Amino acid sequence: MHKVIIPIGPQHPALKEPESFRVVLSGEKILEFGYRLGYNHRGIEKACEARTYIQNIYLTERICGICSHSHSSCFIQAVEEIAGLQVPRRALYIRTIVAELERIHSHLLWLGVAGHEIGFDTLFMYSWRDREVVMDLLAVITGNRVNYGINTVGGVRRDVTPEQAKEILKGMDILEDRTKYYAEIATQETTVIKRLSGVGILSHDDAIRLGAVGPTARASDVRRDTRKDDPYAAYGELDFKVITDTHNDVYGRTIVRVGELMESYKMIRQLLKNLPDGPITVKAPRRIPAGEAIGRYEAPRGEDVHYVKANGTDKPERVKVRAPTLANIQAVSKMLENRLLADLPIIIAAIDPCFSCTDRLTAIKDVEGGAQGTMEWEDLHTYSIRWYRDRGIEFGAANKKLSAMMEGKK
C-alpha cells in the first residue's frame, strides 16, 4: 500500500499555538505522527526580564487567551513566595472564584469543540450558549470576558460585592442544571458512547511515562491534580473531589471534564458562602528581594508551572513557563498510533489544545506517486464525520434528542 504523508500546518490557526503535524498514513491508518512546535514562540520569557513585576502580571496573562488567569496566578504565586507576602484570605478566595469560573468557561468551550469535531453540532451550540452565562459573570466581577486583570502582587484588584455574589450563584444554578443534561447525554446517548469509546487510547502507564497532565491524565486514572496535591490559593480549605476515569480514551476525557464542571459549581458555592471579610490586598514592595520560587497551578488543561528568579530589583532575573499542552503533546503521538485518519481531529481536540475557529489548511501529498492536493481542516472534519456516518454513527437522532431535552426544560 502507498504511504501518504499529510502535513497539517505549520500555519495551523486551529490551535492556539500554531503547530505543524506530519501524519504518515498507510491507507487510512496512521503509521507515524510527527510534530514541529514553536511557531507561536513570542519570546515572552525574555520579555519578562525587561519588565517590572507589575507589567509581567499583564504579560503572563497574555500567554494564553483561555487560561489567562491561570498563568498570571501561577506567576504571581512564585513572586509572592519570594517576597514573603501573606496574601489576605479574601484575596485568595476571589482568585479561586475567578480560577474556577475560568475552568467552567474552558470546559464548556471544550465540550462544544468536541461535539463539533464529531458532528454533534447541537451540543456545540448549546454548550457555547451556556458558556455565555459564565463569560457574563466574569465580565461582571472583573470587567473583562478574557484577560481579567484581577491579580496584583499581594492580592486582587477588585472585590466581589454581595450583589455580584448573588448573581454568580444564580449563574451556577443555571449551569448546573444544564451540565446535568450534558452528563446524561455523555453517559447514556449511544451515538456519543460509540463514537468516543476506544478512540485515542492512552494507557495508565503511558500517561505516567509520557508525563500527561490534567484531564488527559485523569481520564487514564492518574490521580494528579495540583489543587489537591499541592494546594494553592483557597483550595486547601475546599471540599472537592478529584475526578478520574478508567476508560483511557476520549470518552473518559469527556466524563472527566463534565465531572469537573459539577465540582467547580460546588466549589464556587463554598467559596461564596465562606468568603472571609477583610482586605483584598497587602502592600507589596516594588523591588522583590533576591530569591527563587516555583508556582504550580492546575489550569483547565493541566498543570501549569512557573519558575521565577528575583535579583533584588523591580524586574525578574528569569521567568520560565511550562504550559500544560507542552506536557501533553507526546501523549497525542501515542494516542494516534495505528488509529484512523478520521479520528485525528477529535483525538487532537481531546487534549484541549485551544482550538480557534479560523481557517485551516492541510496539504496532501502522495509520497510515491507525487500527486498533490489540498484539504482544508474543514474538509478533514467533514471527511471524518462522513467516514463514521457511512459506518452507522450519525448524530441526527442525538441532535434532535438534545434539542428536545433543552426545549422541554424551558
Partner 1 sequence: MRTGEEIKNALVRTFAFLTEKVRVQREKRIWADAPLEHFREVFDCARKELGFTMLCTITGVDDAGTMGAIYHMASEDGQVLSIKVSLAKEKPSLKSVTDVFPAADLYERELVDLFGVAVEGLPKGKRYPLPDDWPEGQHPLKKDWQPGQPGRKEETPHA
Residues that bind partner 1 (CB under 8 A): 34-39, 41, 43, 45-46, 81, 208-211, 223-224, 226, 228-231, 292-294, 296, 303, 305, 307, 309, 318, 320, 322, 326-327, 329-330
Cβ at position 140, least distance to partner 1 in Å = 34
DSSP string computed for 234-248: TGGG---PPP--S--
Q: Is 298 in contact with 214 (CB distance < 8 Å)?
A: yes
DSSP string computed for 79-130: HHHHHT----HHHHHHHHHHHHHHHHHHHHHHHHHHHHHTT-HHHHHHHHHH
Cβ at position 96, least distance to partner 1 in Å = 17
Nearer to partner 1, 13 or 211 (CB): 211
Nearer to partner 1, 183 or 242 (CB): 242
Nearer to partner 1, 32 or 379 (CB): 32
29-36: strand order across its sheet: 29-36, 20-26, 3-8, 361-366, 372-376
Nearer to partner 1, 40 or 382 (CB): 40
Cβ at position 286, least distance to partner 1 in Å = 22
Q: What are the phi and psi torsion angles at 233 (to 5°)?
A: 45, -125
Nearer to partner 1, 252 or 302 (CB): 302
Q: Is 28 in contact with 340 (CB distance < 8 Å)?
A: yes
Residue closest to 264 by CA, chosen among 249, 236, 242, 297: 242
CB atoms within 10 A of CB 258: 21
Q: What are the phi and psi torsion angles at 33 (to 5°)?
A: -130, 115
Nearer to partner 1, 61 or 225 (CB): 225
SS3 367: coil
Cβ at position 89, least distance to partner 1 in Å = 18
| C-alpha of 312 from chain center | 34
Nearer to partner 1, 3 or 36 (CB): 36
Cβ at position 245, least distance to partner 1 in Å = 18
DSSP string computed for 145-186: SSS---EETTEESSPPPHHHHHHHHHHHHHHHHHHHHHHHHH
Cβ at position 292, least distance to partner 1 in Å = 8
Which residue's entry shows cell 484581577? 150
Cβ at position 391, least distance to partner 1 in Å = 34
Nearer to partner 1, 43 or 370 (CB): 43
Residue closest to 117 by CA, chosen among 387, 330, 314, 322: 387
Cβ at position 99, least distance to partner 1 in Å = 18
